[in-house]
Amino acid sequence: MATSTRIIVLNTTKVGERNIVVHALSRDFGRRSFITGVAHMAFWQPLSILDCEVVENSRSELWRLRGVSAVYSLSSLRSDIRRAAISMFMAEVLYRSVRDGAEPGLYEWCEKAVLTLDSLEGSNANYHLRWLLELCSALGFTPSEEDIAPFAGGHLGDITSLMGPYEDALLLPLSGKSRSAIAESLLRYLSAHLEYQLNIRSLDVLGELF
Report which of 115, 82, 81 is spatially closest to residue 8, judged by C-alpha positions: 115
Domain tally, the chain: 2
- Residues 59, 83 share a domain: no
List alpha helices for the chain, DSSP H: 75-79, 81-97, 106-119, 127-138, 145-152, 156-162, 166-171, 176-194, 203-209
CB count, 10 Å around CB of 177?
10
Whether 111 and 167 share a structural domain: yes
Do 117 and 190 fall into the same domain?
yes
pTM confidence score: 0.95
* pLDDT of the chain, 210 residues: tens digit per residue: 789 999 999 999 998 888 999 999 999 999 999 999 877 778 899 999 999 999 987 788 889 999 999 999 999 999 999 999 999 999 999 999 999 887 889 999 999 999 999 999 988 999 999 999 999 999 999 899 999 999 999 999 999 999 999 999 999 999 999 999 999 999 999 999 999 999 999 999 988 888
Of the three residues 22, 52, 70, the one that is the final residue of a domain is 70
Q: Are residues 90 and 191 in the same domain?
A: yes
- Residue that is last in its domain, among 10, 43, 70: 70
Q: Which residues pair with 146 in a beta bridge?
A: none
31 in Cβ contact with 2 (< 8 Å): no
Does 199 lie in the same domain as 162? yes
Domain boundary residue, one of 70, 96, 120: 70
Query: Is the CB of residue 133 less than 8 Å from the CB of residue 90?
Result: no
What pLDDT shows up at residue 80?
A: 95
CA distance 173 to 155: 13
Three-class secondary structure assignment of 90-147: HHHHHHHHCCCECCCCHHHHHHHHHHHHHHCCCCCCCHHHHHHHHHHHHCCCCCCHHH
CATH number at residue 66: 2.40.50.140
In this structure, the chain runs to a length of 210
Domain assignment of residue 51, given as a range: 2-70
